[in-house]
Structure 1
Amino acid sequence: MTEELIKVDFHCHSDASPDSLVKPAELIATARERGITRMVVTDHNTIRGALRCKELDPELIIVGEEVQTTCSELLASFVTKEVPRDLEPKEAIACLRDQGAFISISHPFDPHRGWQIKDLLAIIDLVDAVEVFNARCYKPEWNLQAMEFAGEHGKPGTVGSDSHSLYEIGGAGLMVPAFETADELRAVIHRGKVEAELASPLVHLGSRYAKWVKSFFPIEES
């Protein structure tokens, strides 16, 4: 008997991120329409948006955070307490570990987003996973390097659309057995299968537009 798998997007943003205009209700409706079973809302340095999303659809949403460290970003799932930005990577990881969060490394080989190999090597034994497919890494070799790095160090992979717009939602996910907690996720993620495709590089223009709109016209989150 074939085991039933669910599709999980480990990386997406709501309007709580400075570079997204996606409202929680729209995010949830679009994810449901496009076959996402679980979605980790990982706004930049806040869980505010994820908590609003979870109130609307607790079965779909996992509270997460994309944490900016002094090097680059960590991607966390099952976050209960917001972690401040600009900590050293090991300090941020310790904060996430203290609350039992599942920790991945965001887009590790995208040269535009900060990680250096020495910094990755310093934390690889402290994290649960590596983001092996980020749909916004517009050169396939960047994700391939992430997959190879994860394999070399015996780490499973997370997959994310890194969506900042409705257009991107549903474009990337990991097919895994169902789970409810961070520990259950740790137990099944090694069996995950990537189901994803790269987004157009033009999606980055949408993020710039969102930042521009918010700089001139502050938007009330809903």
Structure 2
Amino acid sequence: MKPSLLRIDFHTHTNFSKDSLTRPESLVQACRRKGIDRLVVADHNTIAGALQAQTPDPERIIVGEEIMTTGGEILAAYVTTEVPPGLSPKETIKRLRDQGAFISVSHPFDTLRKGQWALEDLLEIAPLVDAIEVFNARCIRPGSNREAALFALEHNLPGTAGSDAHAAFELGSTFMILPQFEGPDELQAIIGQAKIQARLSPWWVHFVSRYASSHKGWGRRLDNVVRPP
């Protein structure tokens, strides 16, 4: 029997993101272990890791993508066609809308991250998205999540929440509790009912990501030395 309520982490990464070393299969195993019923795998500017994670557990894993636009990052779920980075926010949203994806905005008020949203850009796209990420477990500045939640409330938008896990041990810190749903349309219909269980990750998880980025960077440099073009 399926559970009447689902625990969903709306924002995670695999090693297909440059700042993560977590293999898709390891993320899926941790997800099962920690009782997460649905997991949005949203790597930076690619759906390859999400597709790989989905193969052994298609019911649990939702294919997503965190896309860097010229204004900031868009967090999408139920992505079927990869959207490239570097497009305008409106063009990115259009491409996601054309494929029926569910569209949220990543950590919109986190001033410590690359690609922070300018308020005027955020106001422009607010009517075009389905939700705002109101709690991200990796936000360090205390006001970042609070400001996102207030913005969502002021613009009558529901909130999403996620661990933003780049390492498997981060899973379980933050998730939403929702009734059963299938697909983006049903998600959109019930997202306003979400109950959020939230806990911030320790600040040092960002050093895990920096290590991952550096490790991959040195690996590429070494590969170029050993196997020059």
Q: Does the pair score TM above 0.5?
A: yes
Deviations 1:118-158 (A, max 9, x none): 11000000000000000001233210111110011010000
Tell me the distance in 1 between the aligned counterparts of 2:154 and 2:21. 38
Confirm whether residue 39 of structure 1 aligns to residue 39 of structure 2.
yes
Identity rate of aligned residues, in percent? 53
Structure label with greater radius of gyration: 2
Tell me the alpha carbon deviations over residues 167-215 of structure 1, each in whole angstroms, 9 at most, x when there is no partner: 2111111111111100000011000011110001100000000011111
Does residue 158 (structure 1) correspond to residue 164 (structure 2)? The answer is no
Aligned to 1:115: 117
Q: Secondary structure at the match of 2:133?
A: strand
SS of alignment partner, residue 59 of structure 1: coil
Cα distance in 2 for residues equivalent to 1:60 and 1:110: 29
Q: SS at the partner of 1:174?
A: strand
- The 5-angstrom pairing of residues 14-33 of structure 1 reads 14-33=14-33
**Equivalent in the alignment of 1:88:** 88
Q: What aligned pairs does 1:1-222 form with structure 2 within 5 A after superposition?
A: 4-113=4-113, 114-218=116-220
Q: What is the SS of the residue equivalent to 2:206?
A: helix
Tell me the SS of whatever aligns to 2:7. strand
TM-score (norm 1): 0.95
Q: How many residues are paired up?
A: 216
After the TM superposition, list the runs of 4 or more consecutive aligned residues in structure 1 that deviate by more than 6 angstroms: none
Q: Deviations over 1:2-21 (max 9, x none)?
A: x9321111100001000000
Offset from partner CA, 1:92-143 (integer Å, 9 cap, x none): 0000000000000000110123111111000000000000000001233210
Determine helix, strand or coil for the equivalent of 1:71.
coil
Supply the distance in 1 between the matched residues of 2:205 and 2:89 (Cα, whole angstroms). Answer: 28
- Please give the alpha-carbon distance, in whole angstroms, between the structure 1 residues aligned to 2:128 and 2:212: 34
> Distance between the aligned counterparts of 1:153 and 1:110, measured in 2?
18
| Partner secondary structure for residue 196 of structure 2 | strand
CA distance in 1, matches of 2:25, 2:82: 22
Aligned to 2:227: none
Cα separation, 2, equivalents of 1:166 and 1:99: 29
2:202 is paired with a residue whose SS is: coil
SS at match of 1:217: helix
* TM-score normalised over the length of structure 2: 0.92
